[in-house]
Amino acid sequence: MNSSGTPFSTLIRTASHEQHVEAETSTFMSDLLGGRLGVDAYARYTEQLWFVYRALEEGAEQLSGDPVAGPFIQPELLRLAALERDLAHLRGGDWRAGLTALPATQEYARRVTECALTWPGGYVAHHYTRYLGDLSGGQIIRDKAEKTWGFARKGDGVRFYVFERIANPAAFKRGYRALLDEVRADDLEKQRIVAECKRAFALNSAVFSALGEEFRVSA
């Protein structure tokens, strides 16, 4: 709880609500989920995620003993291996050869790394923004992707969205919110974490808008 009595998990969700709507309804996401873009756009998006998760997960190991970020580091969340299988399916065995980060993705990954190295609270903000989102709306994206581009259910192409080691996502999210509520941070640090979460959403939106420029739906 903070001094106003609001659990931190509620505070961070409420504070980022508006930006969540913005990300969800961005042109790129709407076109992608509306079935108006080809699998190439989905692959390009998946490539961008690879850079973001590399930054998140490279930083994870050395943070596992940290009093603030440590409790959030849970191996069942790790996504990089799943992304790599998806990319091998989407782009072929030499997927690494053609992999490039958009400038917006570089900026996003750079900020994640900076937080991982210098500010555990900031890292928590990025961790929350991605992993709790993947466990939630990610499931809607998986369903649409399977239907739109014909991937096998929970198979290659959408493994990023499948948390093999989390049998009950709703229960896991409850546990995650409890970790947020117990985070070792005073009110001021909590405010900073919320601000970083908003920045994380903005960094995601910037990637969507760059992807939207690259993949325009012809009228």
Q: How far, in Å, CA of 113 to CA of 115, rounded?
A: 5
Side chain identity at residue 93, one-letter code: G
Residue in 140, 171, 178, 195 binding ligand HEM, rule: CB under 6 A: 140
If binding is defined by CB under 6 A, does position 133 make contact with ligand HEM? yes
The dihedral sign for the CA sequence 21, 23, 27, 28: negative
Site track for ligand HEM across 143-182, x = CB under 6 A: ------------------------------x---------
- Among positions 82, 108, 129, 161, the unique one binding ligand HEM when judged by CB under 6 A: 129
User: Using CB atoms, what's the residue nearest to ligand HEM?
Assistant: 137
Could you tell me which stretch among 58-66, 73-81, 96-104, 126-134 binds ligand HEM (CB under 6 A)?
126-134
Taking contact as CB under 6 A, which single stretch among the options 23-31, 41-49, 70-78, 98-106 is the one that binds ligand HEM? 23-31
For ligand HEM, which residue of 204, 211, 212, 215 counts as binding (CB under 6 A)?
Answer: 204
- Interface stretch with ligand HEM, choices 39-47, 68-76, 105-113, 122-130 (CB under 6 A): 122-130
Cα–Cα–Cα angle for 49, 94, 60, rounded to 5 degrees: 35
- Do residues 108 and 23 make contact, with C-beta atoms less than 8 angstroms apart? no
User: What span, in angstroms and rounded, lies between the C-alpha atoms of 149 and 139?
Assistant: 15
| Cβ proximity of 185 and 121 under 8 Å | yes
DSSP string, 105-134: HHHHHHHHHHHHHH-HHHHHHHHIIIIIHH
Site string for ligand HEM, 40-69 (x = CB under 6 A): ------------------------------
Q: CB-wise, 100 or 136, nearer to ligand HEM?
A: 136
| Segments in the chain forming alpha helices (H) | 8-15, 17-24, 27-33, 39-58, 60-63, 80-91, 103-118, 120-127, 133-135, 138-149, 169-181, 187-214
Candidates 29, 63, 115, 125: give the one binding ligand HEM (CB under 6 A).
29
Q: Tell me the one-letter amino acid at 94.
A: D
Binding footprint of ligand HEM on the chain (CB under 6 A): 13, 20, 23-24, 29, 33, 128-130, 132-133, 136-137, 140-141, 173, 201, 204
